[in-house]
Structure formats: structure tokens, C-alpha cells
Chain A
């Protein structure tokens, strides 16, 4: 599990951040949100949200991972270093992990992420670990809307170079 993120996700993160900075033509602050969604629940929920035409902000970028438990904290800190304003880590509800206990690992790791982000001087609201089952399209949309609003009220991240 440790090796997979090295090549795939690091480049994806850079790509998504760049794509967002190019499309960020709006005047004023548009938060950039990056979501790591697990293949089995949260990504399926995002898929369903699209099919069901649930409305949520367009400044979300999604990176699909096989399990929320495989997201190394360094992926989250790197996303912030590349200019994300908020990062969502989304997995299956506890007890429903496709790999039995991956989301419990994600929960343990999220404590580490929160601590490192605070050492980096980032507000705790910028990172959220949420559970979202594949049927909860509206919950997915609501989580993104909430995060977007929260980020708009706290403003750009201190690592963000351009606004």
C-alpha cells in the first residue's frame, strides 16, 4: 500500500492543483478543495451525485484512491503545499470498509494529519475526514457545500501563492 501513492497520486495532486490555478479566473477568492475519495463508497457517492444532478461547488477536485486508509499524511500536506485551500478525506462508514479496517486506519492517521497541519499554521477547518456511503449522494454534495462555505469564511491558505 505504501508504494502506490508515490508515483500516481503525487503527480495527480500536482496536475489537479495546476488545473485549478489555471481555471481560477474568478475575481475574488475561490477556494480550491481537493478530495481523496475511496473507490467503494465516497467515489461512488460522487458518481451518484453527478448522475442525480445534485448541486455542489465546482471548485472541488477528486482523486480516487482504493481506500481512505492508503492516504499517507504526506499526500495531504503536499496538497496544501501545492496550494489547496481545503482537503477532504472521504471513506466508507466505520464498519463498512471494503478492506475491513482501512477507514479505521484513516481515522488514526487523521489525528497525525491534524497535528502536522497545525504545525504548518493551517486552520483545523481546512482538513476534514468524513464518511459517506455509496448511496449518500446528497450527503456528499452537502459535505462539499459546507466545506466550501467554511473555506470562504476563513479565506485562502497561507501556502497559496496566487489568489
Chain B
């Protein structure tokens, strides 16, 4: 019997759905086991009561609900609540749903600043007033899914690796619970570690790291040890998929950005990375743009314009 699947995209970018389609050959056998009832991003389904209906949201009953994106406005919230009512299992799909993601960086700004920027001061936009129609009323900030509805499983990643998606959906088909290994990106990184050494200051990434382009990552020195701010120590592993390759950013010789969110659920990437640096005698006060270490996990009240000015 096939499992029924509903999917919704809230305050996100649909990159997670791209990654879902990117599961390649795995997806063909996978989609045999799922019957997609509702997925507005892939197929047309009138459900918002926009055609003269009763104004309600109509999502069919399903076994699995896949929600990508955080919750930013009242429409997102109502859809998320309806998904929770109609689906037995809710999966927070991607970093936005799990930790707020990139849209949660907006939590550093008040709504009035956001609207002024978007509708009036953006370079490529003709200045206009704030819209009074179509855009649903905003909530006070961007929320992660689990701040508003109960979430059963999390698949973090920006976007999640196709392997993680396949593995997660497979385990649900088999009725198993989904366990994320509590490993950091460093645990899955082959870069050469030679000890903490003499790094006492973090450099901006304006000059390339030192490495031999024709040699594999395992022969490159750890980027943190080279003095760049790599978020590897405080970020959940998994971006490389299941084939044991190097983490995706490290693979292209760029420091980890932290897109899989904190290692431990409820962790704080800013606190953990600053603490890791401070414990190793690195002066954290000199670190520019430190708030951006929460660029993927700014929900859960981590970023708040009342307390932190961008």
C-alpha cells in the first residue's frame, strides 16, 4: 500500500523541493511508495478557498506531511496548523523549517524597516506604498516550525542532501523513526588537522585558503587552523550525503557556512563557535559580522531586533 504524502512550502525558497527531485534514480523507486496528494509547488491544487469557497484551507488527510520553510505570516501559520491536523507525521524539511534558515536573518530587522527597504529603498524597485491587499499580515518574526506546531522529524540542510531525503523517506516507509547522527561537520571532514598551532586571530575570507588544487581535500590543512572562520565544529554533519565524501563547502575549499544548523537540537551556533574560539585563546571581540554565525539558525528567539542591532 502506498503512503499518502502532502507537502507545503512556507517561508523558504523551494530549494528543498529541488533537492527532493534531485534524488535521481532513488526517487523513482521512492515515489512508487508514495502517493502525492498535495504539493502546490509541483502540481496545481486549489486549496486556499480562493475560488469563492468558504475561505478555509483544505488539505487532504495523509500519512506524511513534508513542510519546508519557516513561518513568517498568518497564512503560513494557518497552513502549518492545517497540515498538522491532516498529517500523521510532520517532517520539518530543510533548515528553514527546522531552525528558521536564511529568512530568519530578517529577525534582526523590524517589519517597518523591512517594508521600507523592500518597497521603497531597494535599488531596482520603483518606490511605492506598503500593499494593503494580497500580502497576509506578518507575525512578529520568522519562526521555526516546531515553535508553532508539533514536529515529528527534522531533516536539516540547505538544501538537505538527496541521500538524506531518500534515507528519511525510506525509514518512514519502513515505519522506523529517523535518527540523525549527532556528529559535527568536522567529524566527517577529511582535511588535515595538525593541532591548534599559532592561530590567535580569525582572518576574513578575502584571500583563498592555501591548498593544491590538483590534490584531494585530505591533503589540505583544516581551514580553521588556517585562520578562517569555518562553522564545521558547531554544525550538524550530513551535507556530504551517504557516500562518505567531504562536506560540500570544504570540497570546494570554502569554509563551512553552518547550513545544517546546530549539532545538538536546541544548540546555539553563535555561542558554540565563539566559545570554541575563546577556549582556544582566540580573541572573539575582533570577529566582524559575528551575528552571521546564526545565519541559518536565527529562529527560536536567537536573533531579535530588540536586543541585537544588525
Contacts and interface: CB of A to CB of B under 8 A. Distances in A.
Interface of A: 72-74, 77, 105, 108-109, 111-112, 115-116, 118-121
A109 B302 contact: no
Interface in B194-243: none
11 contacts: A73-B274, A74-B267, A74-B272, A109-B278, A111-B285, A112-B275, A112-B278, A116-B268, A116-B271, A118-B308, A119-B308
B279 A74 contact: no
Contacts of A108: 278-279, 281, 284
A119 B307 contact: yes
A128 to B, nearest CB: 18
Given A108-B278, A109-B279, A77 B271 contact: yes
A46 B274 CA distance: 31
Contacts of B281: 108
Nearest to A105: B279
Nearest to B276: A112
Contact of B274 (A112, A120, A121): A112
A72 B302 contact: no
Interface in B132-177: none
Interface of B: 267-268, 270-272, 274-275, 278-279, 281, 284-285, 290, 301-304, 306-308
Contact residues of A: prevailing secondary structure: helix
Given A108-B279, A115-B274, A121 B268 contact: no
Nearest to A121: B307
Report the 4 A-B pairs with minimum CB-CB distance, sorted nearest first: A108-B278, A112-B274, A121-B307, A116-B271
Nearest to A6: B264
Given A73-B271, A109-B278, A121 B284 contact: no
A118 B275 contact: no
Nearest to B274: A112
Nearest to B267: A74
B275 A72 contact: yes
Contact of B304 (A109, A116, A119): A119
B301 A109 contact: no
Contacts of A109: 275, 278-279
Nearest to A76: B271
A112 B281 CA distance: 12
Contacts of A74: 267-268, 271-272, 275
